[in-house]
Structure 1
Amino acid sequence: MVRTLALRGGIRSWVGVHVHNNPWWTGGLRYFNAESDKSPPKRIAIVGAGIGGTAAAYFLRQQFGKCAQIDIFENGKVGGRLATTTVEGNEYEVGGTVIHPRNLHMKDFIRQLGLKERQVNIGRVGIYNGEKFTFEESSSFLINVLKLQWRYGFNLIRLKIWLNGILEKFSRIYHYQHQEYAFTTVEELLHALGGDEFISMTQATVEEVLLKAGYSQKFMDEMVTPVMRINYGQNKNVSAFVGAVSLAGAQPNLWAVEGGNWLVCQGLINAASAELVQGRVTAVECQSPPSRAEKTFSSYKLDIEKSDFSYSVYDIVVLAAPLHKNMANISFQNFSHPVGDFSGKYHQTVATVVYGLLNVPFFSYKNLNEFTLNEILTTENPKLFISSVGALSPLNVSVDCKVKVTEPAAWKVFSPEPLTQEQLDLLFASYSSKSERTWLAYPHYAPPEIFPPIILHDNMYYLNSIEWAASAMEMSAIAARNIALLAHHRWYQKTDKIDQENLKA
């Protein structure tokens, strides 16, 4: 677990699921014949063109075949929280940054879409507490092992064993989804994979769980907290499940998409033969069926702002944008029960890409030539106004290049608030340009977590419910696959494929 520190968490790093040679995942577009006399849906609407919404379009096309019209509504750019920025003529990731080698949906997307992987070389990592580095990674594997063993004892070894057990259980989701089983709630999904253990992990903090298991407070403060800060902009008070996802993603062999991760979203739209509609959905109106006796479902009318798109009534609606307060701002009309406006809030993180010379003395280094770190994580300290600082490489290169601190380079700074001019001058000896993006990137985790429903109405589904278990690209893809299966089974009343546990391999 020495390479636990070798990470670029990015805004949406994910759990590296520990699965070997999964025979049940084949991917590709497959069209299914309905085992029912009921006609397939004619029109499907998806609100949001991020990884969740575009993956939903891809999987829904698999489930319902080529006759359904699939429209994706997006007010901004394709990719959502997968985004890039241009600094000094080069493009860099400013949203979701890295993908784990065992993210099976993302790996399959890349293969199906003909995109290329770009290996992410993290370089050397240090943990800074505001006064000194509590750990600095060296070029020697043996030295790293000895330093970590001396400071943290067997905590890292025990953590690896714990995480491997969790990952083995979570990997069952691919088996369930290959067998076309779906879940109506996040709780049902988690329980099918990890039983009461997974549910309890969403109800307690990662600090509570690990301290109870005998991990040291020093380990929590100096190793666990920095990973939470870079991955989720939060601390050891996130839920234990989120904490496990974050820690599991802190492994080597991370990768990204050459040209930008958002290209996956564009590719999925094309592969699904979906129509992208530029415009903001302001309201969804339920239109009741003419006769419940005929078991006919409701349809849904969408109001779209600033769009000349003519058709707006749909058989199935998937909401792939956060519905919490001040997020999507969609009103729901003529429903028999309240929809949306869930409790909780999204957490603000500011990603600033700065092209310049890092001010090494700020990190208590007097000799510039001795500074060899490419990634700086931080512990909690009121004096620290940043969560992390990491060197970046342009997106058009197949492998990350090594950064020399004696030369200008692109650095991505995560902070809870926009950096002031004074703070920029403290962090950088000089800089020529910067680009700033403020994100409400993921939920503010405060266990016990309450999960929003996946099924909002007859045939209206909420993809972002899964974010309250953990927010990540692969988690969104898993949610998209689950909703596509769930929508299909409920449309054709195949209840034997819903909320089943103890599936045998």
Structure 2
Amino acid sequence: MNKQHQRITSLVICSILLLLQPFHVHPHTVCIIGSGIGGASVAHFLRRYSDPKTIGQIRIFERNGVVGGRMATVTIAGETFEAGGSILHPKNYHALNYTKYLNLQASKPKHADDSLSLGIWDGHKFVYKTLNSKSNLPIIRRLVSFANSIIMLLRYGVFSLFRMSSFVEVAVNKFLRYYEVFESRPVFESVEGMLKWAGLYNLTRRTLGEELVEVGLSPLLIQELVTIITRINYGQSVNISGLAGAVSLAGSGGGLWAVEGGNWQMAAGLINRSDVVLHLHEEIESVSYLGDVYELNSTEGKSYNCQVAVVATPLDELNILFNPGISIPPRKLQHTHATFVRGLLNPAYFGLDEISDIPELVGTIESVDLPFTSISILKQHEKDMTYKIFSRKPMADALLDDIFSLRVETIKINWAAYPHYHAPETYAPFILDGKHLYYFNAFENAASTMETSAVSAENIARLILLRLSGQVDYSSPNLQSFSNDSAENHSEL
């Protein structure tokens, strides 16, 4: 009996000792669908905010042969130009940090130049046109710029322009809350919660037009200047939501910049330095939850298992089969057709005598009869120029032959660029199945830019890590930053 008692005691002690030993937890594997700035940023922040014991292998799947998503470039006349997301705001702090982290160079886009001549075209005439000086003398350029400021103030009103600027500044300052330190910034399970915390939610309940009327802008300013900005930046009218409109207006201010050689390098650089297994030319056809892992099946006939799956591409025009099924609000994407032409505009099309009379940036008012939203000069060559045209529909060759007196080279790109905004907005969930299937692009219904993508991606990464850790209080997340610069580079990028 004494020996039996000793045996039982020994077993109990061994059991206790075993329980006190730390469990060997395998790192979680993550699959990300999409290699744009969103998918690349999710991978970056997962590595930055976790150690190798938490997040193991990360796979990124890209159906195309290059990374970057809606950030891409075209080469025309031997020059490289942005074809997708082209400009960044001076307060886009994630993009600024990416640029420094990756040793990229910032540059000032030609169309962000304050001295750029502007004309607003109604289909028959220029209803507004700035003065233009071909002089390179700084004193002359300053005088012309001052004269244009006076002309704008007289046409649209000092107070209206001031109120527009104030409207944008208030929205930008609220957005800056997303850069606050972790201790004062919660992790968000929904887009609505994320917007309400920053004080931006109400801007998605009404249209930009309604918001600007309430703050006191003149009808002429809304009809002309505001409209051409929303048409250029989002391909849509002032009927977009107030928040998308404020973001669009912020993108027309001063200090705008881009990455020298192409903004896509931010996505490529983040992927390079995030220890990622990259799958180019591999589209995901189905995502199935098998109880403890997600099985992703690709067009290459391969299957991959991951504990966490992140959809970092718009689901609106994809045919990914989810099992079990998911439910998201219906949404349409706004297609923007970008047409690049090396040649010369036809001044007669605009009712002018000389090509030099055509402004460097031609914007258009809202009208179904107008075939394009904007035309801008990207580069002036010795005998011709490179232009970029935005339109809601493809530009037919016959129409281009009317607009241009000379066409040497033409490139056409159809972008499923942004959501078609309306008010009030509805949002897909960040967590698609209540487990570990995440939808990064849910935030796009608030606003779609490179920077809002990075902000959404950081929240998704933090949300993943907190839910994997079992932490239930997202108002004071227990996360820290880890350094990881030993990643393998991908030569194909």
Letter in 1 for 2:232: I
Is the aligned partner of 1:299 residue 2:293? yes
Matched residue, 1:438: 414
Letter in 1 for 2:59: D
Letter in 1 for 2:192: E
> Which of the numbers 72, 94, 108 marks the counterpart of 1:119?
108
Matched residue, 2:12: none
Quote the offset at 1:345 in angstroms: 0.8
Tell me the SS of whatever aligns to 2:49.
helix
Quote the offset at 1:64 in angstroms: 2.6
Matched residue, 2:320: 330
Is the aligned partner of 1:381 residue 2:367? yes
Quote the offset at 1:215 in angstroms: 1.9
Q: Structure 1 residues 115, 340: closer, same or farther in 2, change over 3 A? A: farther
Quote the offset at 1:177 in angstroms: 5.1
Is the aligned partner of 1:134 residue 2:138? no
Alignment of 1:162-177 (within 5 A): 162-176=167-181
Q: Is the 8 A contact 1:323 1:341 kept in 2?
A: no
> Which of the numbers 235, 238, 245 marks the counterpart of 2:237?
235
Matched residue, 1:487: 464
> Which of the numbers 471, 474, 479 marks the counterpart of 1:497?
474
> Which of the numbers 292, 304, 329 marks the counterpart of 1:312?
304
Q: Structure 1 residues 453, 230: closer, same or farther in 2, change over 3 A? A: same
Matches of 1:169 and 1:414, distance apart in 2: 30
Matches of 1:178 and 1:377, distance apart in 2: 44
Matches of 1:499 and 1:348, distance apart in 2: 40
Tell me the SS of whatever aligns to 2:85.
coil
Matches of 1:126 and 1:160, distance apart in 2: 20
Matched residue, 1:152: 156
Matches of 2:46 and 2:207, distance apart in 1: 35
Deviations 1:122-151 (A, max 9, x none): 222222222222222334232122212211
Matches of 2:40 and 2:242, distance apart in 1: 29
Is the aligned partner of 1:390 residue 2:372? no
Tell me the SS of whatever aligns to 1:237.
coil
Quote the offset at 1:494 in angstroms: 2.3
Alignment of 1:173-184 (within 5 A): 173-176=178-181, 181-184=186-189
Q: Structure 1 residues 99, 178: closer, same or farther in 2, change over 3 A? A: farther
TM-score, structure 1 as length reference: 0.82
> Bigger radius of gyration, 1 or 2?
2
> Which of the numbers 45, 50, 53 marks the counterpart of 2:39?
53
Matched residue, 2:75: 86
Quote the offset at 1:367 in angstroms: 2.8
Q: Is the 8 A contact 2:33 2:310 kept in 1?
A: yes
Matched residue, 1:20: none
Matches of 2:355 and 2:70, distance apart in 1: 35
Matched residue, 1:397: none
Q: Structure 1 residues 318, 498: closer, same or farther in 2, change over 3 A? A: farther
Quote the offset at 1:370 in angstroms: 3.6
Alignment of 1:443-458 (within 5 A): 443-457=419-433, 458=435
Which moves more between the two structures, 373-382 or 43-52? 373-382
Q: Is the 8 A contact 1:180 1:497 kept in 2?
A: no
Letter in 2 for 1:174: Y
Quote the offset at 1:204 in angstroms: 1.1
Letter in 2 for 1:481: E
Q: Is the 8 A contact 1:41 1:316 kept in 2?
A: no
Matched residue, 2:30: 44
Matched residue, 2:487: none
> Which of the numbers 344, 348, 353 marks the counterpart of 2:335?
348
Q: Structure 1 residues 243, 182: closer, same or farther in 2, change over 3 A? A: same
Is the aligned partner of 1:73 residue 2:61? yes
Quote the offset at 1:179 in angstroms: 5.5
Matched residue, 1:100: 89
TM-score, structure 2 as length reference: 0.84
Quote the offset at 1:178 in angstroms: 7.5
Letter in 1 for 2:340: V
Matched residue, 1:62: 48
Matched residue, 2:287: 284
Letter in 2 for 1:143: A
> Which of the numbers 218, 225, 228 marks the counterpart of 2:227?
225
Q: Structure 1 residues 246, 369: closer, same or farther in 2, change over 3 A? A: closer
Matches of 2:184 and 2:96, distance apart in 1: 19
Q: Structure 1 residues 489, 275: closer, same or farther in 2, change over 3 A? A: same
Percent of pairs with identical residues: 35
Deviations 1:324-344 (A, max 9, x none): 2xx2211101x2xx4155311
Matches of 1:38 and 1:412, distance apart in 2: 57
Letter in 2 for 1:322: P
Letter in 1 for 2:117: R
Quote the offset at 1:37 in angstroms: 7.3
Runs of 4+ in 1 over 6 A off after TM superposition: none
Q: Is the 8 A contact 1:486 1:498 kept in 2?
A: no
Q: Structure 1 residues 368, 178: closer, same or farther in 2, change over 3 A? A: farther
Long gaps (5+) in structure 1: 1-35, 289-297, 394-402, 501-505
Deviations 1:174-195 (A, max 9, x none): 005586631111111111111x
Matches of 1:155 and 1:390, distance apart in 2: 26
Quote the offset at 1:433 in angstroms: 0.9
Deviations 1:356-390 (A, max 9, x none): 1112232232233444x221111112331000011
Long gaps (5+) in structure 2: 1-21, 132-140, 478-493
Q: Structure 1 residues 339, 165: closer, same or farther in 2, change over 3 A? A: same
Q: Is the 8 A contact 2:329 2:426 kept in 1?
A: no
Q: Structure 1 residues 369, 444: closer, same or farther in 2, change over 3 A? A: closer
Matches of 1:270 and 1:78, distance apart in 2: 11
Matches of 2:447 and 2:164, distance apart in 1: 19
Q: Is the 8 A contact 2:34 2:61 kept in 1?
A: yes
